[in-house]
Amino acid sequence: MAQSQDGDPKPRSRRPQRRQLFCPAHPEQRIEGNGKKYFLHLLNAEQLQARGMPDKKARLVIQAYPVLVLSNEWLEELFCPACGTSCWCHVTRHDRVEHTVRWAPRDLWEQVAHVDPIVANPSVSEYSRREASRLNQKRRDGKRFFDAG
């Protein structure tokens, strides 16, 4: 049995702990996400070196695996109750429970396979795409279409 800090034996909890994800803007607020995880792919040794791998080892790994999929880093859409919105976050797993969460920069999507942020989704119609961008368009008087007054 495991020992507690004061020396008394404590029973082990058999219930698995949930991952702990906290909002980058509100560090005390837990955020949830059950969406799809987009794992990052590395294509060159410099990307491995930026993550702390020595130069020689990084070159050997890239030679062995031309496309290396990181199992501990991904992009995921997470919902924060304090912000009231869902945002794309870059999640880095340290162990089963501990994770680091930060806002996902747009250039990180270039490291995700099968997702091109420049090209529009082909399953979305031209009408839907145009109407979605209408929110950002302005009227002749300089106000947005959906502004009050």
Q: Which residues does the chain have with pLDDT short of 50? A: none
102 backbone dihedrals φ, ψ, rounded to 5° = -140, 160
Contacts of residues 124-128 at CB distance under 8 Å and 24 or more positions apart, as own/partner, are none
pLDDT of residue 132: 77
pLDDT of residue 92: 92
pLDDT of residue 118: 66
